[in-house]
Chains A and B, each alone.
Chain A
Amino acid sequence: MIGRRGLLLGAAAAAGLALLPALAEAAPLAKVKALGVLRIAVYKDNRPWSWTEAGKVHGIDADLARAIADKLGVRVDLAEIIADESVDDDLRNAVWKGGLLGFMPADLMLHIPFDRTFASRNDQVAIIAPYYRESFQLACAPGALDCEAPPTQWRGKRLAAELDSIPDFYLIGAFGGILAKDVTHYMSGAEAVAAVTGGKADAVLASRAQIEAGLHDSGGRTLDRRKMPLPAFTSPGWDIGMAVKENSRTLGDAVEEIVAAMTASGELKAIFAAHGVTYAPALAA
């Protein structure tokens, strides 16, 4: 299958193709206000950021999206998008072009990496309002293994990771792959964390938000959290922002003002806290 190859192709495809006109233009600020609705894309099945339970979209991103629409004085239309092989593809599907089968482009999409190189190859969108600093962490069931030990000492322990993620590649690939047989794969980071809080695994490498929200949801479990950096671990963390269509900068500016005010007032921090996650400002903010 060739889906993953889309990774770097959003921009290339845009340049190479005479693209179909977007089915519906993402509306700049005046149009959003006139229509009285702001369509915001969030990821489907992305705990603790956005997920559906009993017909309602929950999560930090869902709450943030509602607050932004509220402060703009419009109704929110939360659109869940199934993640494609890369965020570049997601921006094409959810923001600037729309899905091949009629997914209407959103005015705003949350949870977009705020990164100069990434932004430069996605020039159909403007990436704005960095609102969080994410990073990967190792969390361990107390007594099950030594969280601060060299990873090679974890042979034979039950390690959990999200399938096809940096934690996965690290655990099955590092140190000549000696931990590969000890890794159990889960379809999401949240499930990998739940495996440890539920006693099915000894340690998990996942995002800090996934770990903290998982602990929050488990009703007061505590896990050891590794403080030392993992040897030869490749990801120093990344900033999370939002995206609007390149020609929707009026809307982008208004959203940036709202997010700045929510940060200053502590409202943003409170949204994170409600899900058990410690707010961390983006480095770029």
Chain B
Amino acid sequence: MKGSMLRTLAGAAALALAAATAPTQANGPTDADLMNDAASTGDVLTYGMGPRAQRFSPLKAISTDNVAKLVPAFSASLGGEKQRGQEAQPIVYDGTIYVTGSYSRLFAFDARTGEEKWQYDARLPEGIMPCCDVVNRGAAIYGDKIIFATLDAHLVALNRETGKVIWNKKVADYQAGYSATAAPIIVKGKVIYGNSGGEFGIVGAVEARDVETGELVWRRPTIEGHMGSLNGKDNGITGKLNASWQGDLWKTGGGATWLGGTYDPETNLLYFGTGNPAPWNSHLRPGDNLYTSSTLAIDPDTGVIKWHFQTTPHDGWDFDGVNEFIPFDATINGKPMKLGAKADRNGYFFVLDRTNGKFIGAHKFVMQTTWANGFNAKGRPNYIDANRPGAPTAEKGTSVFASPSFLGGKNWMPMAYSQDTGLFYIPSNDWGMDIWNEPIAYKKGAAYLGAGFTIKPIAEDHIGALRAMDPKTGKIVWEYKNKAPLWGGVLTTAGNLVFTGTPEGYLKAFDAKTGQELWKFQTGSGVVGSPVTWEQDGEQYVAVMSGWGGAVPLWGGEVAKSFKDINQGGSLWVFKLAR
């Protein structure tokens, strides 16, 4: 941690300044503040702008009428050589903007001037081999702490005023393939997070720690047969041993929870998505392979699973089910319902009863799904068997075309739900892949049977598509097409606006009802972060990270043509209306 002395000094100076100029919010955000984040407009305290992660702001000073006058207030560089993959969502509190940067860094910037207050660089072991770039998606704030996860699978709590470490806990072993990139969430004094890693030999889990001490409170593995824990004692097995797995494959079954979760205070349930099963070839693991590629509803007090819904049973395409499940209320067939929605990697937008996981509907939100033809009334996919990739053989075999590609109809980037329009805004991608058995493959120096693949666009004019989905009808109300794949989060506001970024470098604003593009600004590098908005000194601000990276540039082929001229970067951009 180079420069800790400098940090301390800067922190002390910031403290002194704050004390002199404004009433400090010395105690920091409370549980109640976090739960009220969606309604409180003067701050952004949670990943998702509220525990339900609707990414909706009631602010309307910036609206369809004046968004054209949005101009930069300031920009702040993350500096250094680490100019890639800025997928974070800013946190804004008490005159400070906190952002996490690639390579496990956390920055505190003055929210009025953009000057850096302090910076924390995690010291990472050089042996880490992160599968999918060096990103981080954001921090969590609570009391005097700002907390984030690092690539070597640690959770670090820093003093939000000084950047000094309060606690630092190893949550998994990076040498065993684990990593951490998601923003943690904080519920009732517990910091709750998932795990991530390659598919080799890992098992997904959700864990809760005491936010004050970092000590483990409960742990819930996501794969059938594994024992959960609560306060150091066994707390029941997940599912039923060998109910949907053969032999001992459940021990290494996958199901990583690498994108974190959401929370609904009304039902007191956490919602975490789980990754795909292992081994990768579905023919070697008959059964549904629970609870992979699923959404789990978990009791935040005990870590017990209350219900599950599997979006891709017996996955054979790498369709992680990690995507965010966003609670919302709507009236369906005349009946007011407590619902939740998830836009899945597999190309379907799911609406479930969030109190019990009951299937309400699954609506296609991409151009093409080759693997299934819709879902039946029970919520099971109508598989198209001919399009399932084959069993591993020593022959090259036939190539199967699968759409969406393994990067998904929607990947990690979070969608938004407008309480005004009742629409979900989904950052999606239309792309497929050829996949075949690859006999000339090697792993750790030994012969191996792998799969070869190439990702390719399926439309002439676009890969990315921002789509407005009506969750009550499953209809797409409007769409905006983008040449390069969309890889950033979405924000919607009561000003009838939808904001999202593009790899081409723009932050764009759209009319939430019609999809008409109203404003754009070139940030200098691809935008793959999630925008936020808040009110400060009587004005509405919008902020987003710029810095191309993430998993997309790691995959070449035809898709690479759409972003070959995009440069790396690493900056926070903050906007407000011109006076």
User: Using Cβ atoms and an 8 Å threshold, which residues of chain A touch B453?
Assistant: 5, 8
Return the contact of A112 from the options B445, B450, B451, B554 (Cβ within 8 A): B445
State the Cβ distance, B96 to closest chain A Cβ, in Å.
28
Contact A180-B247, Cβ < 8 Å, known A5-B318, A7-B451, A8-B453: yes
User: Using Cβ atoms and an 8 Å threshold, which residues of chain A touch B551?
Assistant: 2
B555 with A180: CB separation less than 8 A? no
Interface string of A161-185 (1 = CB under 8 A from B): 0011110110011000100111111
A207 with B131: CB separation less than 8 A? no
Let me know if B6 is at the binding interface, CB within 8 A.
Answer: no
State the Cβ distance, B516 to closest chain A Cβ, in Å.
34
Q: Report how far A185 CA is from B252 CA in the complex, Å.
A: 9
Let me know if A197 is at the binding interface, CB within 8 A.
Answer: no
Q: Report how far A275 CA is from B249 CA in the complex, Å.
A: 32
Stretch at the interface among B14-22, B233-241, B275-283, B381-389: B275-283
Q: Report how far A182 CA is from B447 CA in the complex, Å.
A: 23
User: Using Cβ atoms and an 8 Å threshold, which residues of chain A touch B284?
Assistant: 169, 172-173, 177, 180
B406 with A118: CB separation less than 8 A? no
Let me know if A17 is at the binding interface, CB within 8 A.
Answer: yes
B198 with A7: CB separation less than 8 A? no
Let me know if B24 is at the binding interface, CB within 8 A.
Answer: no
Let me know if A231 is at the binding interface, CB within 8 A.
Answer: no
State the Cβ distance, B258 to closest chain A Cβ, in Å.
7
A6 with B554: CB separation less than 8 A? yes
Within B237-288, the residues touching A (CB, 8 Å) are 246-249, 251-252, 254, 256, 258, 275-276, 278-281, 283-284, 286
State the Cβ distance, B482 to closest chain A Cβ, in Å.
19
Return the contact of A46 from the options B196, B442, B445, B556 (Cβ within 8 A): B445
A83 with B444: CB separation less than 8 A? yes
A101 with B252: CB separation less than 8 A? no
Let me know if A102 is at the binding interface, CB within 8 A.
Answer: yes
Q: Report how far A187 CA is from B252 CA in the complex, Å.
A: 10
Number of A-B pairs, beta carbon distance below 8 Å: 202
Let me know if A143 is at the binding interface, CB within 8 A.
Answer: no
Let me know if B95 is at the binding interface, CB within 8 A.
Answer: no
Contact A3-B126, Cβ < 8 Å, known A113-B442, A165-B448: no
Q: Report how far A136 CA is from B449 CA in the complex, Å.
A: 14
Let me know if B200 is at the binding interface, CB within 8 A.
Answer: yes
Contact A118-B440, Cβ < 8 Å, known A43-B445, A87-B445: yes
Contact A185-B251, Cβ < 8 Å, known A1-B258, A15-B556, A165-B448: yes
Return the contact of B283 from the options A102, A112, A173, A207 (Cβ within 8 A): A173
User: Using Cβ atoms and an 8 Å threshold, which residues of chain A touch B132?
Assistant: 1-3
A13 with B442: CB separation less than 8 A? no
Return the contact of B276 from the options A1, A13, A117, A183 (Cβ within 8 A): A1
B445 with A17: CB separation less than 8 A? no
Let me know if A111 is at the binding interface, CB within 8 A.
Answer: yes
B129 with A82: CB separation less than 8 A? yes
Return the contact of B447 from the options A2, A4, A166, A180 (Cβ within 8 A): A166
Stretch at the interface among B37-45, B391-399, B518-526: B391-399
Return the contact of A163 from the options B103, B201, B392, B555 (Cβ within 8 A): B201
Within B119-155, the residues touching A (CB, 8 Å) are 124-134, 151
Q: Report how far A108 CA is from B226 CA in the complex, Å.
A: 42
State the Cβ distance, A33 to closest chain B Cβ, in Å.
26
Let me know if A224 is at the binding interface, CB within 8 A.
Answer: no
Let me know if B553 is at the binding interface, CB within 8 A.
Answer: yes
A17 with B560: CB separation less than 8 A? yes
A2 with B318: CB separation less than 8 A? yes
Let me know if A84 is at the binding interface, CB within 8 A.
Answer: yes
Let me know if B320 is at the binding interface, CB within 8 A.
Answer: yes
Q: Report how far A164 CA is from B198 CA in the complex, Å.
A: 12
User: Using Cβ atoms and an 8 Å threshold, which residues of chain B touch A43?
Assistant: 444-445
Number of B interface residues in the complex (CB < 8 A): 71
A234 with B444: CB separation less than 8 A? no
Return the contact of A9 from the options B251, B444, B555 (Cβ within 8 A): B555
Q: Report how far A18 CA is from B567 CA in the complex, Å.
A: 10
Let me know if A285 is at the binding interface, CB within 8 A.
Answer: no
Main secondary structure of the interface of A (DSSP, over half): mixed
Within A131-165, the residues touching B (CB, 8 Å) are 134, 136, 163-165
Contact A13-B249, Cβ < 8 Å, known A1-B132, A173-B284: no
A164 with B279: CB separation less than 8 A? yes
Interface string of A64-104 (1 = CB under 8 A from B): 00000000000000001111111111100100000111111
B131 with A1: CB separation less than 8 A? yes
User: Using Cβ atoms and an 8 Å threshold, which residues of chain B touch A180?
Assistant: 246-247, 284
Return the contact of B248 from the options A103, A118, A185 (Cβ within 8 A): A185
Let me know if A32 is at the binding interface, CB within 8 A.
Answer: no
A115 with B440: CB separation less than 8 A? yes
Within A203-252, the residues touching B (CB, 8 Å) are 207, 234-235, 237-238, 240
B201 with A1: CB separation less than 8 A? no
Contact A87-B556, Cβ < 8 Å, known A2-B131, A7-B450, A173-B391: no
Closest to A42 in B: B445
Q: Report how far A187 CA is from B247 CA in the complex, Å.
A: 16
A2 with B175: CB separation less than 8 A? no
Q: Report how far A85 CA is from B442 CA in the complex, Å.
A: 9
A16 with B246: CB separation less than 8 A? no
State the Cβ distance, B46 to closest chain A Cβ, in Å.
26
Q: Report how far A118 CA is from B406 CA in the complex, Å.
A: 24
Q: Report how far A117 CA is from B133 CA in the complex, Å.
A: 28
Let me know if B402 is at the binding interface, CB within 8 A.
Answer: no
B201 with A172: CB separation less than 8 A? no
Let me know if B353 is at the binding interface, CB within 8 A.
Answer: no
Return the contact of B443 from the options A85, A99, A103, A184 (Cβ within 8 A): A85
Contact A101-B445, Cβ < 8 Å, known A4-B450, A16-B564: no
Return the contact of B445 from the options A93, A113, A234 (Cβ within 8 A): A113
State the Cβ distance, B338 to closest chain A Cβ, in Å.
32
Q: Report how far A189 CA is from B553 CA in the complex, Å.
A: 34
Most buried by B among A3, A8, A169, A182: A3
Let me know if B199 is at the binding interface, CB within 8 A.
Answer: yes
A99 with B450: CB separation less than 8 A? no
CB pairs A–B below 8 angstroms (27 shown): A1-B198, A1-B276, A2-B131, A3-B131, A4-B280, A5-B318, A5-B555, A15-B556, A17-B560, A44-B175, A82-B129, A83-B443, A83-B444, A85-B198, A100-B129, A100-B130, A101-B151, A103-B129, A111-B445, A115-B440, A118-B442, A163-B200, A164-B201, A166-B446, A177-B284, A181-B246, A234-B439
8 smallest A-B Cβ distances: which pairs? A16-B556, A3-B131, A16-B560, A234-B394, A12-B556, A3-B198, A111-B445, A83-B444
Q: Footprint of B on A, CB under 8 Å? A: 1-9, 12-18, 43-44, 46, 49, 80-90, 93, 99-104, 111-113, 115, 117-118, 134, 136, 163-166, 168-169, 172-173, 177, 180-185, 187, 189, 207, 234-235, 237-238, 240
